[in-house]
Structure 1
Amino acid sequence: MTETKHSQLVDSVRRDILKLIQEHNLAPGARLVERKLGEELKVSRSPIRKALQALEAEGTVERSPQGGIVVSEVPAELPPHPGAADENEVYYKLAEERLNGQLPDRITENFLLRHYDLTRTELTELLRRISNEGWIERLPGYGWEFQPMLDTVTVYQDSYRFRLTLEPAAILEPSFVVNREKLLKCREEQQRLVDGGIWEASNAELFDSNSALHETIMNCSNNTFFSDALQKVDKLRRLIEYRKSLPRDRALARCKEHLAIIDLLLDGKLETASTYMREHLSSVSLEKTSDQEAATDAP
């Protein structure tokens, strides 16, 4: 490891220890054990020891008369990490690089730490987020594996043709029962977007809000096969949706259509809602796949 990389690792570990002191509310006198810190931060004892030496020089930790290192002063706030980017910026950069084929199917945490200049804590939060979204899974040990996703225009179009068959039909299932509580919650979220939230929402937030509505409607069918199928498609299409989300004025129009579908369902007008759902998906499919084709054909 070069001197520069070693210094970056030690600084990253130093910040992680500071964050652990804060998060665990460790009071002055609390003992810090190198081995336990290494296990929690998944690094060897050498950078742990050097990070503790740096913290000792700063006065945050000190050597106990009984031996070992203890907390001396609880930091009021973490110092800024000069190399770290905004959390969402790193998230979208990772998503874009994965979609572009710049990242392998399997990856190590040490590579991610260096590549995105993250602290261990920041990386843990990032991996937790994308793991919860279903596009990466932990391997035995410290490695991770990216899950399959939609990464071509043709397959993306196929996903919409599948949804056009599935979602309108689900509303007409004999077992379909309107879940008023959950639909009203979705309506509140869609109304928030229509009332101006659409202009501030990130691509990820917009995707989550809209996919949650469609999955809620699908769950009303009380057909496990329908619900599972849509959830799987949503996981597969998440990253390509980030790449080319609709312009916000067009996304606003689609959120208004969501409100109309919800109101039809709440009024018990299932056949009309099914027809409207088909029209809605057809319009969105045409807009998004034509945009994807334009992006692909662009020089």
Structure 2
Amino acid sequence: MPPTPLTRQVAARILDYIRAEQVATGTRLVERTLADHLRVSRSPVRNALRLLADSGAVTEAERGGYTVLTTDHELDLGEEPADDADEAIYLAIAADRLDGVLPDRITESALTRQYGLTPAQLNRILRRASSEGWIERLPGYGWEFRPTLTSARSYADSYRFRLTIEPAAILEPTFVLDRPALEHVRAQQQELADGAIHELNNIELFNINHVFHETIAECSRNEFFIEALRRVDHLRRLVEYRRSLPRESGVVRCREHVEIADLLLADRRAEAAERMREHLSTVTAEKTGS
């Protein structure tokens, strides 16, 4: 029996989630976590994972469940592929929301009319925005934009908050280094520093960088630090889409990321915490002028 439209849609949203969160190859996918993130029941998630396994995006784990097999995978949904027009419209919607042009709640028909979308474009754009966490489907009808930073003051406050919690997370007594995860994000940062940063847009760069910082915070095993950082990252996402450092400065910041990772891998946490503080202080000044 061919997969249902719901199964295909959930499978596509899982792929969007894997890409947006930079989920590493070999990472176990937890049905309950995916269901909570996508706001669906576990049954369509389970069917979607089977479809992704059949298509080669994930593979069955030895003790049940599924793990990510590849992060560079396209699922044939029987729709036209995304293109540059999608990207331009996506950024226009993000900018309009940030500027207060769009209301808190909006219908698919309103988005279609306002931005001249085809049904396939609308589906792709909403799936992408949902996977990135700045819009969510309402239980009944329509969509609701999630809260975001809307002023220079709140944006600057978010960086000062990070300056407080991220070095502290490294010094937590419950800190346990996830070496494979840190080595993975370190390799990404090294690749950026070696020149790949010039090939990425602001969205791609933000996704890689926030995963680096969240990977370190997750090692603290302190859910308050972890959830606080994730919350801040979601709130500042739209601002970061149109505000970034010059790529030359970005290369320097990526090298700082590599230095922090190397200190952690060498079990020099106190030095890593101080280097994180210095790094965030510099980025705060560069991006907020404070």
Same fold (TM over 0.5): yes
The corresponding residue for 1:91 is 90
Q: Does the aligned pair in 2 maintain the 1:95–1:239 contact within 8 Å? A: yes
Q: Does the aligned pair in 1 maintain the 2:90–2:125 contact within 8 Å? A: yes
Shift of the 110–198 alpha-carbon distance from structure 1 to 2, 3 Å rule, reads: same
The corresponding residue for 1:153 is 152
> Within 5 Å, which residues of 2 pair with 1:182-201?
182-201=181-200
The corresponding residue for 1:233 is 232
TM-score by length of 1: 0.68
Q: How many aligned positions are there?
A: 215
Which segments of 5 or more consecutive residues in structure 1 lack a partner in the other structure? Answer: 1-19, 24-76, 294-299
Partner-residue secondary structure (3-state), 1:86: helix
The corresponding residue for 1:177 is 176
The corresponding residue for 2:67 is none
Alpha-carbon distance between aligned partners in 1 of 2:279 and 2:129, rounded to the nearest angstrom: 29
Alpha-carbon distance between aligned partners in 2 of 1:205 and 1:228, rounded to the nearest angstrom: 22
Percent same amino acid among aligned pairs?
Answer: 54
The corresponding residue for 1:211 is 210
The corresponding residue for 1:271 is 270
- Highest Rg: 1 or 2? 1
> Within 5 Å, which residues of 2 pair with 1:15-164?
86-164=85-163
Q: Does the aligned pair in 1 maintain the 2:80–2:120 contact within 8 Å? A: no
> Within 5 Å, which residues of 2 pair with 1:230-269?
230-269=229-268
Alpha-carbon distance between aligned partners in 2 of 1:228 and 1:279, rounded to the nearest angstrom: 23
Cα shift at 1:157: 1.1
Cα shift at 1:119: 1.3
Runs of 4+ displaced beyond 6 Å: 77-81
Q: Does the aligned pair in 2 maintain the 1:175–1:222 contact within 8 Å? A: yes
TM-score by length of 2: 0.70
Alpha-carbon distance between aligned partners in 2 of 1:232 and 1:97, rounded to the nearest angstrom: 21
The corresponding residue for 1:297 is none
Please list the CA deviations of residues 87-145 of structure 1 after superposition, one character each: whole Å capped at 9, or x if unmatched.
21111111111111111111110111122222112111111111111111111344111
Using CA pairs under 8 Å that are at least 6 residues apart, name the structure with larger relative contact order, 1 or 2.
Answer: 2
The corresponding residue for 2:42 is none
Partner-residue secondary structure (3-state), 1:169: helix
Please list the CA deviations of residues 32-59 of structure 1 after superposition, one character each: whole Å capped at 9, or x if unmatched.
xxxxxxxxxxxxxxxxxxxxxxxxxxxx
Alpha-carbon distance between aligned partners in 1 of 2:93 and 2:200, rounded to the nearest angstrom: 19
Partner-residue secondary structure (3-state), 2:144: strand
Partner-residue secondary structure (3-state), 2:116: coil
Please list the CA deviations of residues 245-299 of structure 1 after superposition, one character each: whole Å capped at 9, or x if unmatched.
1111111111110000000000001000000000000000000002xx9xxxxxx
